[in-house]
Chains A and B, each alone.
Chain A
């Protein structure tokens, strides 16, 4: 087994462990921390199914962002939807035989990569050109965009410029999954692509990428508007009642 293969195999095991472990920890923190008061941004749904719909519109269509900034919405939505298609497309490297709906989505996923990069560049240009957004940008905000653009461009170049050895790559990926390591093709574009992906996985749980799980825990979006009908009480606040009850 080459040094390269071992390095990347270990890197991906570590990145996966950090991503899953880190996210699991953060999600458990969000889930454990109580929301002591009812604070949905109103008008808010008065039923749980209404909240599911609201969250669905937020996560799938970016409803609130659409209300606030059409350019940011356009670029942001373009990026995220394309990313979703691209990720689905990548499932073909992890499954054998490839699921039929993944095959069906291949042509879309193939070109979504362009829209993904386009969306990212749109977002990045706002970060540079709009004085308000430039003011709030830290170096990490630019670097994350650079990372994602890098992943997109290296990925696209393998599809549209210089093909990599897809069969060996798939063997490597499946080998990682079944603990039966296979050699990784030593192709510069591929190695860079995989390295950047591993970096993204590693920083995910310690960066603003936490907005992905965070949105589901946002009390202004996930609470039912029924404070008069049901008494809502946090565990830490409950004992305050008895101490002041007559």
Chain B
């Protein structure tokens, strides 16, 4: 790993300056390769197969037939350049292969060579190339410098989504045994144990009991964190980071306090103890379905009426956008869809399934079912980071854009001092934390630090302008990433916290015990 310097933040501007391109600036960056132990449980070859070239090209053909997005996106790009200055990794590294169109072209030039008339007969003219080992290694390097945040897709005139391309490329890489260790190791843990941390049921129970004691010590109230409670109304699926460390765990305490204050019946599941679905990052439909089906199974066994999801960005995308498709966790199945009907008939039709914890808390606040004392957060000056998968790949509430309104309304109900970052850096234009999409691993630290630059620049602006000292987020990856990279930019590590920590600190606990 080359030595690198943390980019410098500018004074008095919320957005970074677009750099001149520096070819090859990040070509040395690539994550640890998955080993057979990580690959085989996911149904992938243990290591790089001998006929990898042939197999990769065949897999590409298979994906082209299964995914309209890939077929259309590989054909439609006109190289207009609109996306070239939109990726946080490009802005932070200046490597031109981190421009969305150039990242896509790594795959597109091979697609053209093997699957289009122009590329077969006039490769030089249209920039088509053979799939060589060099190209394959470029794929491995640069498709692991994409956090699948979809910022480019907002700005593309055809909606071309590099996240889809990166997922397809990783799916091809996995199919030839050339996958990434970080993601595949974690997915294997979920298949075996049920969560990313590999935390077994008894350890989870012990953790939750400790938390109950902590809350009791802090507040004097018996707030429960139930697990595997059959007949509970709500099944809460949350990222396992919430069971593990600061600042996540204070968010979990916040959920528990809200449920307690509102008198709701809820439970966690030790079998489905993970909201994250890293299989999405590697574009594996099969593994994504296998992970999602744990939620379906837990919901059926516990007999719950509602399914709720804790603070996690890509998990909310997987839950909101995909769970219904993957595992029938949602409403509106066809009459002859026995698989989905099985769970659906058990669910309360008055509530969306799945429901985001912020949607629920927002509703409870609106209904007056919980009361918040804003002054409890008067020592904080808060800004909010829109997590990319929540902002650009999902929704909250009934109307488009509810994902921007609801978390902010929840924050504003819990504290008096709230300041948004600059408009071009939030909502659908939000900048990724730099650690999403399966990049939250120490072997990718350089790209994580540099990729955080645009967000850090926007943060610095509100820190300078409004003396903001707290960065609230609703994503486990964002929280972990920020805790790690904030100090690189001379911000205190502890300024990142969960939205539900703010809520938890402000909520007035009733006597529902």
Residues of A within 8 A of B (CB): 26, 29-30, 33-39, 41-46, 50, 58, 62, 64-65, 67-69, 72, 76, 123, 126-127, 130-133, 135-141, 143, 203, 206-208, 210-211, 214-215, 217-221, 225-234, 236-237, 240-242, 244-246
Contact = CB atoms under 8 A, between A and B. Distances in A.
Contacts of A72: 80-82
B154 A41 contact: yes
Nearest to A26: B75
B159 A208 contact: no
Nearest to B119: A206
A230 B324 CA distance: 8
A123 B82 CA distance: 12
Interface of B: 18, 20-21, 23, 64-69, 71-73, 75-86, 96, 99, 101-102, 105, 116-118, 122, 124-127, 150, 153-161, 164, 285-286, 289, 293, 297, 300, 320-322, 324-325, 328, 330-334, 337-340, 342, 352-354, 391-395, 398-401, 403-404, 428
Given A44-B400, A46-B400, A30 B71 contact: yes
A42 B81 contact: no
B67 A35 contact: yes
A105 B157 CA distance: 28
A30 B72 contact: yes
A140 B127 contact: yes
A153 B125 CA distance: 24
A37 B292 CA distance: 14
A229 to B, nearest CB: 5
Given A69-B82, A132-B21, A39 B321 contact: yes
25 contacts: A30-B72, A36-B285, A42-B394, A42-B400, A43-B400, A44-B395, A58-B157, A65-B155, A69-B81, A69-B82, A72-B81, A131-B20, A132-B96, A135-B102, A136-B96, A139-B125, A143-B125, A214-B72, A214-B75, A215-B157, A218-B69, A220-B160, A226-B332, A228-B324, A230-B332
Nearest to B18: A132
Contacts of A207: 118, 126
A141 B101 CA distance: 14
Given A227-B322, A245-B338, A210 B285 contact: no
Nearest to B352: A228
A63 to B, nearest CB: 8
Nearest to B332: A230
B400 A227 contact: no
A225 B82 CA distance: 25
A227 B64 contact: no
A78 B303 CA distance: 59
